[in-house]
Structure 1
Amino acid sequence: MDSIEQGWSSNPRGRGEGVVDKIRNCRHEISVWRKANPPYGKETISNLQKALEEVQNDMSKSEEEVIEVSRKLKEAYRDEELYWEQKSRTAWHVYGDRNTNFYHALTKQRRIQNRITGLYNENEVWTNSEIEIEKVAVNYFEKLFKSTSPADFEGFLAEIPESVTSEQNRRLTALATEEEVRKALFLMHPEKAPGPDGNILIAQEMFHGIRTNNACKEKFMAIKTDMSKAYDRVEWLFMERLLLKMGFCSRWVSRIMTCISSVSYKVLLNGQPKGSIVPERGLRQGDPLSSYLFILCTEALIVNIKKEERNKRLTGLKLLKDYEDVSGQLINFDKSSLQFGHKVPDVTRVEIKTQLGISTIGGMANYLGIPESLGGSKIQVFGYVTERINQKINSWTVRFLTKGGKEVLIKSAANAMPNHVMSCYRLPKAVTKKITGAISHFWWGGSGNKKGIHWLSWDKVCKHKDEGGLSFKDLQGVNTALLAKQLWRIIDKPECLFSKVFKGRYFRNTDPMDPHRSYSPSYGWRSICSARSLINKGLIKRVGHGNSISVWSDPWIPAPRPRSATPKTQPQVLVPSLKVDYFINPATLSWDEDLLNAFIHTDDVNIIKGLAISRSHRPDQMDGPLRIMGAIQLNRVIK
Structure 2
Amino acid sequence: MDLADALREEEIYWKQRCREEWLRSGDLNTKFFHNVVKGKRIQNRLLMLLDEAGQEHFAEGSKGNIAVNYFRELFRSSNPFDLETLFTGFPKRVSDDMNAVLTAAITEEEIKKAAFSVKGSSAPGEDGLTGVFYQKFWHIVGAQLTSEILVFFHSAVMPDGWNHTQLSLLPKIPKPTKMQDLRPISLCSVQYKIISKILSNRLKSILPEIISDTQGAFVEGRLISDNIIIAHEMVHGLRTNPRVAEECMAIKTDMSKAYDRVEWNFLEVLMEKMGFDRIWVRWIMSCVSSVSFSVLLNGNSHGYIRPERGIRQGDPLSPFLFILCAEALVSRLNTAEETGLLHGIKLSPFGPSVHHLLFADDSLLLCNATSTEAAEICACLKDYEEASGQCINLQKSSVIFGSKVSEERKLEIKRALGIHQEGGEGSYLGLPECFSGSKVNLLSFIKEKLQGRLNGWFAKALSQGGKEILIKSVALALPIYAMSCFKLPKDLCAKLTSAIVEFWWSSGSNRKKISWVSWQKMCKDKEHGGLGFKEVEKFNQALLAKQAWRIWSRPNSLVSRILQGRYFPRSSFLEANVGTRPSYAWRSILHGRELLAQGLLKKIGNGESVKVWTDNWIIDDVPRPPHYHPDAEVDLTLTVRDLIDDQSSAWNIPMVRQLFCEEDVSRVLNVKVNVDSVDTLEWGFSKNGVYNTKSGYKLAVVLQEKQVFPPSPALPPLERKLWRDLWKSKTTPKIKHFMWRALSGALAVKQGLKSRGITLDTTCLRCGSAEESICHVLFHCEVAKEAWERSQIPLPPGGFSRSSVWLNFFHLLSVSKRHSSEGSIRLSFPWVLWHIWKARNIFCYEKIHLDGATVLSRAMEEASTWFNLQLLPSESSHLSSLTRWQKPPVGTLKCNIASSWPDSSHNHGSSWIVRDSTGLPLFHSRRAFAPVFTEIEAGLATFEWSLKAAHDLKVKKISLEISSPILWEALSIPDRFPNLGFEISKSLRLMHDFDQCQLSLVPSVVNIIAEDIAVSVTRDHRYQSYIATGGPSWLSSMINLQAAG
Q: 2:567, 2:83 → 1: CA distance? A: 42
User: What letter is aligned with 1:114?
Assistant: N
Q: Which residue of 2 aligns with 1:291?
A: 319
Q: CA deviation at 1:215?
A: 4.3
CA deviation after TM superposition for structure 1 residue 188, in Å: 5.0
* Change over 3 Å in CA distance of 1:480–1:506 after alignment to 2: same
Higher RCO (CA < 8 A, seq sep 6+): 1
1:143, distance to aligned residue in structure 2 (A): 0.6
Match of 1:206 in 2: 231
1:114-513 to 2 correspondences below 5 Å: 114-191=44-121, 196=218, 198-209=223-234, 210-211=237-238, 212-313=240-341, 315=373, 316=375, 317-363=378-424, 365-445=426-506, 450-513=511-574
Matches within 5 A, 1:90-101: 90-101=20-31
CA distance in 2: counterparts of 1:606 and 1:201, whole angstroms: 42
Write out per-residue CA displacement over residues 426-477 of structure 1, whole angstroms, 9 at most, x where no aligned residue. Answer: 2222112111111221222265753123333333333332233322222222
Cα distance in 2 for residues equivalent to 1:503 and 1:185: 44
Compute the TM-score of the two structures, normalised by the length of structure 2: 0.49
Against the structure 1 CA distance between its residues 513 and 606, is the aligned structure 2 distance closer, same or farther, given a 3 Å change threshold? same
Cα pair 2:603 2:682 within 8 Å, conserved: yes
Q: 1:428 to 1:182 in 2, by over 3 A?
A: farther
TM-score by length of 1: 0.78
Aligned in 2, Cα 1:511/1:549: closer, same or farther, shift over 3 Å? farther
Tell me the distance in 1 between the aligned counterparts of 2:119 and 2:102: 25
Alignment of 1:529 with 2:557, yes or no, is: no
Q: CA 1:365/1:75 → structure 2, altered by over 3 Å: closer, same or farther?
A: farther
Q: 1:59-107, CA deviations, whole angstroms, 9 ceiling, x for partnerless residues? A: xxxxxxxxxxxx3312211210111111112111134512212211211
5+ residue gaps, structure 2, are 123-192, 198-216, 343-372, 702-1045
Q: Write the distance in 1 (CA, Å) between the matches of 2:409 and 2:96.
A: 49
Q: How high is the sequence identity, in percent, across the aligned residues? A: 41
Q: CA deviation at 1:305?
A: 1.8
Assess if the C-alpha contact under 8 Å between 2:596 and 2:696 holds in 1: no
**Aligned with 1:437: secondary structure?**
helix
CA–CA distance in structure 2, aligned partners of residues 501 and 301 of structure 1:
22
**Are the equivalent residues in 2 in contact too, given 1:82–1:95 (CA < 8 A)?**
no
Gapped runs of 5+ residues in structure 1? 1-70
Aligned to 2:775: none
Contact 1:222-1:340 within 8 A present in 2 as well: yes
CA distance in 1, matches of 2:671, 2:535: 38
Mapped contact 2:601–2:684 kept (Cα < 8 A): yes
**2: CA distance between counterparts of 1:259 and 1:190?**
22
Amino acid at match of 2:465: G
Post-superposition shift, 1:385? Answer: 0.9
- Separation in 1, partners of 2:602, 2:294: 59
- Over residues 466-496 of structure 1, what are the superposed CA-to-partner deviations in whole Å (9 max), with x where a residue is unaligned? 2333222222222222222222233334344
CA gap of 1:342–1:95, structure 2 versus 1, over 3 A, is: same
Which one of the candidate residues 599, 603, 612 is aligned to 1:538? Answer: 599
Q: Secondary structure in 2 aligned to 1:344?
A: coil
Deviation (angstroms), 1:156: 1.8
Match for 2:103: what amino acid?
A: T
Distance 2:682 2:472 in 1: 33
| 1:541 CA displacement | 2.1
Do the aligned partners of 1:363 and 1:372 also contact (CA within 8 Å) in 2? Answer: yes
Deviations 1:368-409 (A, max 9, x none): 332333332211121111111111111122222222222222
Partner residue in 2 for 1:41 = none
After TM superposition, give the deviation of residue 636 of structure 1 in Å. 7.6
Instruction: Please give the root-mean-square deviation of Cα atoms over the aligned residues, in Å.
Output: 3.7
Indicate whether 1:556 and 2:591 are aligned. Answer: no
After superposition, give the CA deviation of every residue in 1:11-44 in whole Å (9 maximum; x if it has no partner): xxxxxxxxxxxxxxxxxxxxxxxxxxxxxxxxxx
Give the letter for the 1:470 counterpart: L
- Measured after TM superposition, the shift of residue 203 of structure 1 is 3.4
Q: CA deviation at 1:160?
A: 1.0
Distance 1:339 1:75 in 2: 61
- The Cα shift of 1:601 comes to 6.7
Aligned counterparts of 2:106 and 2:425: Cα–Cα separation in 1: 43
- Paired with 2:418 and 2:74, the residues of 1 have a C-alpha distance of 24
CA 1:303–1:336 in structure 2 vs 1: closer, same or farther (change >3 Å)? same
1:224-275 CA-to-partner distances (Å, cap 9, x unmatched) read 1111001110100011011111111111101010111121111111111111
**Residue equivalent to 1:632:** 692
Q: Deviations over 1:155-175 (max 9, x none)?
A: 321211112111111111112
Distance 1:278 1:323 in 2: 25
Q: Which of 276-285 and 119-128 deviates more?
A: 119-128
- State whether residues 542 and 621 of structure 1, in contact with CA within 8 Å, keep that contact through their aligned partners in structure 2: yes
Structure 1 residues 511, 116: closer, same or farther in 2, change over 3 A? same
> Is contact 2:629–2:659 with CA below 8 Å preserved after alignment?
yes
| 1:528-558 CA distance string (max 9 Å, x none) | 2213343344311235687876666432355
Distance 2:694 2:683 in 1: 18
Q: From 618, 621, 633, give the equivalent of 2:681.
A: 621
Q: Equivalents in 1 of 2:527, 2:304: separation in Å?
A: 57
The number of equivalent residue pairs is 565
CA distance 1:286–1:373, shift in 2 (3 Å): farther
Q: Distance in 1 between matches of 2:78 and 2:529?
A: 66
SS in 2 for 1:75: helix
- Cα 1:431–1:256, aligned 2, differ >3 Å: closer, same or farther? same
Instruction: Compute the displacement of 1:606 (Å).
Output: 10
8 Å Cα contact 1:461-1:470 kept in structure 2: yes
In 1: Cα distance, 2:231 partner to 2:605 partner? 35
State the distance in 2 between where 1:442 and 1:627 align: 36
Q: CA deviation at 1:277?
A: 1.2
Q: 2:19 aligns with which of 89, 92, 104?
A: 89
Q: Distance in 1 between matches of 2:314 and 2:338?
A: 37
CA contact (8 A) 2:10 2:30 kept: yes
Q: Secondary structure at the match of 2:477?
A: coil
Instruction: Please give the alpha-carbon distance, in whole angstroms, between the structure 2 residues aligned to 1:496 and 1:230.
Output: 27
**For the structure 1 residues 519 and 619, does the alpha-carbon distance in structure 2 shift closer, same or farther, using more than 3 Å as the test?**
farther
Paired letter, 2:685? P
Contact 1:204 1:372 in 2 (8 A): no
Contact 1:338 1:362 in 2 (8 A): yes
